[in-house]
Structure formats: C-alpha cells, structure tokens
Amino acid sequence: MKVILQKSVDKLGVPGDVVDVADGYARNYLMPRGLAVRASKGGVKHVESLKRAHATRVSLEQREAQEVADRLTASPIKVRARVGEEGRLFGSVTASELAEEIERQTGVKVDRHDVHLDEPIRSIGVHEVRVHLFADVDPVVPVEVEPAE
C-alpha cells in the first residue's frame, strides 16, 4: 500500500515521503497513530506542503542547535573531582556527570547519550568532549577538570 508520511518514522522516511509498505503495517500501525495517510491523487499538493513545513522546521531547529553550540564552546565546563597523586582522579568523570555539569553551568539540557567520550576522563587538565546536539551540529566542548579541595 502506498502511504504519505505525516511525521518522521525511523527507517522509513520523513514527512511528505511517499512510501510503499505492507497493508497491515499501514492499517494497524501507521494510520491509527497519525503517522501516515493513504496516498491519493489529491495528496500530491499535501505532500509538497508537508515537505516545505518539514524543511522549515528542520532549518529552524538546526539554527537553534548552532546557537546552543556557540554558547557551549564559549567557555570551558569546569568539573571538580577528587585527585590522588600525580594528577590522577579517584574514579573518573563520566558522560552522565558531564551532562549534569553542562546543564548546571549553562542551562542547556544535554542527554548523557549525546556526550561522546572515547573513555571516561581520569586526569586533571583540559579535555575536549564532543556533544551531539542535532544532525551536523557536534561542537567540541572544552572540559576543565580541577582538583576538589
């Protein structure tokens, strides 16, 4: 069955896409949830308006994400941790701790899954951490780990 997507559906498409799916999937899942409507001849104009609205919404969200990225990279995020000999931390600074600190210091809510660390931070100093905010908006945020007194 050919349907026109009304909302983004993972692994299927974005609003305005005309896709061919199994009849049961369309009738039992997509249509009842308002994710899609049956494709018809009159739906072509509807498709164009959906695509325009989606493109406008995406560009606005990307612009907002870029503004947030600029705020995050403006100054380093300071994290205090207990330190042992030679600047090594007792434990480590994890992605969830960084997400909490980013929210506390900048007011920007970031999910811990969007904070990308190759491995937890285990030493004092300045470290660079990539934070995923939106498609193609992945700022590198400086994180300054200081000893707690």
Asked if residue 140 and residue 79 are part of one domain, the reply reads yes
Residue 87 pLDDT exceeds 80? no
The most distant pair of C-alpha atoms in the chain lies apart, rounded to whole Å, by 73
Residues 44-64 have pLDDT tens digits of 777 778 788 888 988 999 999
Domain boundary among 67, 95, 115: 67
pTM over 0.75: no
Asked if residue 80 and residue 61 are part of one domain, the reply reads no
Q: What is the pLDDT of residue 35?
A: 93
Residues 122-141 have pLDDT tens digits of 888 899 999 998 888 889 99
Asked if residue 82 and residue 143 are part of one domain, the reply reads yes
Q: 137: Cβ–Cβ under 8 A, 6 or more apart, which residues?
A: 62, 65, 66, 69
